[in-house]
Amino acid sequence: MEDNSEIALAWNFIENTGTHLFLTGKAGTGKTTFLRRLKSKSPKRMVVLAPTGIAAINAGGVTIHSFFQLPFAPYVPESSFSTSGTAQYRFRFGKEKINIIRSIDLLVIDEISMVRADLLDAIDAVLRRYRDRNKPFGGVQLLMIGDLQQLSPVVKDEEWQMLGKYYDTPYFFSSQALKQTEYCTLELKTVYRQSDGAFLELLNRIRENRCDESVLNSLNQRYMPDFEPQKEEGYIRLVTHNYQAQRINDRELAQLPGQSFAFRATIEGKFPEYSYPTDDVLELKKGAQIMFVKNDTSGEHRYFNGMIGEVTDVSSSFIEVRNKDSELPFVLQEEEWANAKYVLDEETKEITEEIEGVFRQYPVKLAWAITIHKSQGLTFDRAIIDASASFAHGQTYVALSRCKTLEGLVLSAPLSARAIISDSAIDAFTSEARQTEPDEKRFHSLQQAYFLELLSGLFDLLPIEQALKRYVRLVDEHLYKLFPKQLAAYKAEFERLHEKVILVSQKFSLQYTRLIDESQAYATDDKLQQRIHSGAVYFQEQLQPLEMVMGNGVNSDNKELKKKLRDAMEELENLFDMKMDLLQFVQTNGFHVTGYLKQKALLSIDSSSLQKGKSKSASGKSGKEEKRKDTEEDSKKRTRERKRSTGNAVEVPSDVLHPELYNRLVAWRNAEAAQLGLPVYVIIQQKAILGISNLLPSDKAMLVRIPYFGKKGAEKYGNVILEMVRTYQKEKGLAEPELL
């Protein structure tokens, strides 16, 4: 698999582009292996989801519905409610979930063939709400893994009566959001499960809806109505319905001599029943045929998921088994399955999996028979298949493709054309997708486009100008009589920003776009990196005067206007802090996709939420206790702010009286933050800089009384700041003032 050029292209596609990818392929082509490797080695921040509980456990992720907190009702595009009127799509998350959503680079959806189009659009609605509402899926890259020729999504007739007005098919590729994107399809073609060329050809013809009389005749040569396998051969029966599998397993177990023993699973925490990986009560006898439902975690490789085995001895306290290829029995140990959710690590700010529940049970189940549905993803050496009653698209193909060889396959009922169910919509989509598969040339084009997109995002300063414009408009409309001087300063700064930043950034984009187009090795081109560094330095310097606007905000007694002003200022401050930190990061580290993505993701996490108390799993406190604690902290914070304004704190003039000193303090603050790798506001807030530059404190006692600075700031940086103030006063011939 290491030399597989298709898998290598898929890996490079995910790592080096931002384009959505549908990774497909026949059964046994390594899709699951690729996902495991991606999870363990990719530097991208990702979340792995699946449509069902069992699929999520197998993929090492969580279900789509649980992660996005979606109801199971149909989703109608551009609606806050389901068509049934019973389930509400309100997408209300806590800070931690919002931070995860905002900081992920890649959303992986396994078993995409079972995901309905409306569910994908519900995901799009959530991501747009909490990320970029102007981009499909909020700008997150999608990796969709699955085989459309296997199991399809479940849609009831009454649901399709509603959804059919919005979608041409129930399949994921009919999603309205997905149709707005330029996504690519990569098909893995190397089959690792089967090595029999003739059998592979038969499977491919079924998969591609080319099943004619000759294919059926070849397969029906394996029809053996009176076949009775020897126990040691380890055949398993694949059937279409649950009741068939249950009836066969119960009958076979009852026919065995000896006592049966029951083993009850241990379940800790939250582990929903629909996600149980095996029976919660496992009944076994000596001689029972079993299937292992998990890979051996001991490192001895004695069994793997899907392997057939036998119980060689059993009592109330132990189970002895052997796998089908070995005469040496071994004592089976319990295994664990985790039900996880994604959380943010408060120290590292990385997305981690937090275990909500654990399921402990012996990793086997009775396996004289299982359903075709539950066999998806498994591999068998020998199987007896009854697919004559197939009722869904891809069901017969799934059953037949579980086998490694044609010789290991036995049909208990002959196959007819009725059992080979195909969907013309899938056939049409597959045919079109194959014609548009990306080659190396297109991959490099998409890779370059991704590099340019990220770089353009770094130097996109329009959002800052727009945020400033919204704030200035509020002041101009409502407070122009009260703050004429500040309003004039705001407007002057807006004009300066437009001329020195926005217009220059537009010209600069032409420069770096040309350099990228001209260089084959643009990602490591020294000339381009130098231009990026120079641009980062220039724009950081040109953005710094905005600190004076943000430190010189106005207020209002009108409650509604006050909130609008506060919200507008917070938006401006957040955009400013993010941009300044990214520009500083690029100056220090250069512009490289992986490092830049990681830094951007970390900065997009709301730092205030990370400083709050830990989650219930870490603190042991209930949601109500945590909420009460947050309320108390908020109250204390408001009290501290009131003390600043009415107690020992001094009144600070709203205009910048000493802009030269102000700029020196800002430059020092930025350099200190860069050296320590911290956001600038952690060193000293801009409002404190305004107070220091206006009031010119002469000692630490005076420093402490400046709003938004305080005792800790004075202890840590007081000497440096006071020396800067004294130097400035000497240069300007200013006497030391007194704080009244």
Is the pLDDT confidence value at 458 over 90?
yes
Distance CA 689, CA 586 (A): 25
Q: Give the pLDDT confidence of 276-318 residue by residue, as tens digits.
A: 888 899 999 999 999 888 878 887 878 877 788 899 999 999 9
Strands 46-50 and 62-63: parallel
Q: Give the burial string for 202-233 (b: 16+ CB within 10 Å, else e).
A: bbbbbbebebeeebbeebeebeeeeeeeeeee
For residue 32, the model assigns a pLDDT of: 80
pTM beyond 0.95 = no
Is the pLDDT confidence value at 346 over 80?
no
Residue 403 — very low, low, confident or very high, per pLDDT cuts 50/70/90?
A: confident
Mean pLDDT lowest for which of 540-549, 566-575, 640-649?
640-649
3-state SS, 78-118, equals CCCECCCCCCECCCCCCHHHHHHHHHCCEEEECCHHHCEHH
Edge-to-edge strand list for the sheet holding 21-25? 62-63, 46-50, 106-109, 141-145, 21-25, 184-188
Residue 450 — very low, low, confident or very high, per pLDDT cuts 50/70/90?
A: very high
Mean pLDDT lowest for which of 140-149, 419-428, 491-500?
419-428
For residue 513, the model assigns a pLDDT of: 95
Q: Quick check: do 5-193 and 648-740 share a fold?
A: no
Q: Give the pLDDT confidence of 85-102 residue by residue, as tens digits.
A: 444 555 567 777 887 888
**Average pLDDT of 121-139?**
90
Is the pLDDT confidence value at 625 over 50?
no
Q: For the domain covering 648-740, report its CATH number.
A: 1.10.150.80
DSSP state for residue 417 in the 8-state scheme: G
For residue 619, the model assigns a pLDDT of: 33
Q: Which two tokens stand for residue 125?
A: 């609605």
Residue 502 — very low, low, confident or very high, per pLDDT cuts 50/70/90?
A: very high
DSSP state for residue 222 in the 8-state scheme: T
What residues does each domain of the chain span?
Answer: 5-193, 197-337+355-422, 439-605, 648-740
What's the alpha-carbon Rg for the chain, to the nearest Å?
32
Is the pLDDT confidence value at 609 over 60?
no
Q: Give the pLDDT confidence of 702-719 residue by residue, as tens digits.
A: 888 887 787 888 889 999
**Average pLDDT of 479-499?**
90
**Average pLDDT of 377-381?**
78
Is the pLDDT confidence value at 364 over 90?
yes
For residue 724, the model assigns a pLDDT of: 93
Is the pLDDT confidence value at 495 over 90?
yes
For residue 138, the model assigns a pLDDT of: 92
* SS3 at position 385: strand
Q: Which two tokens stand for residue 184?
A: 């690519």
Of residues 25 and 283, more confidence is placed in 283
Query: Could you give the residue ranges of the DSSP H alpha helices within 520-622?
Result: 526-543, 546-550, 559-589, 593-603, 607-610, 616-619
Q: Which two tokens stand for residue 104?
A: 């992920």
For residue 149, the model assigns a pLDDT of: 79
DSSP 295-313: --TTSS----TT-EEEEEE
For residue 194, the model assigns a pLDDT of: 58
Burial of 190 by CB count in 10 Å (0-12 exposed, 13-18 middle, 19+ buried)? middle
Whole-number Cα distances in Å, 209 to 293, 379, 393, 614: 32, 23, 11, 54
For residue 623, the model assigns a pLDDT of: 41
For residue 740, the model assigns a pLDDT of: 38
Q: What are the backbone angles phi and psi of residue 521, rounded to the nearest 5°? A: -105, 55
Residue 549 — very low, low, confident or very high, per pLDDT cuts 50/70/90?
A: confident
Question: What residue ranges in 500-646 does DSSP mark as E strands?
Answer: none
For residue 2, the model assigns a pLDDT of: 54
Percent of the chain with pLDDT over 90: 33
Strands 335-344 and 330-331: unpaired
Helices (H) and strands (E) in the chain, counts: 30, 20
> Class assignment of domain 5-193?
alpha beta
**Average pLDDT of 201-222?**
86
Mean pLDDT for the chain? 82
Contact by Cβ (8 Å): 457, 604: no
Is the pLDDT confidence value at 647 over 60?
no
**Average pLDDT of 659-667?**
86
Of residues 734 and 495, more confidence is placed in 495
**Average pLDDT of 428-437?**
80
Mean pLDDT lowest for which of 128-142, 518-532, 636-650?
636-650
Is the pLDDT confidence value at 607 over 60?
no
Residue 635 — very low, low, confident or very high, per pLDDT cuts 50/70/90?
A: very low
Is the pLDDT confidence value at 155 over 50?
yes
Give me the residues paired with residue 266 across strands.
Answer: 360
**Average pLDDT of 397-425?**
84
C-alpha angle 626-632-638 in degrees, rounded to nearest 5: 135
For residue 616, the model assigns a pLDDT of: 33
Query: Position of tokens 């990370």?
Result: 610
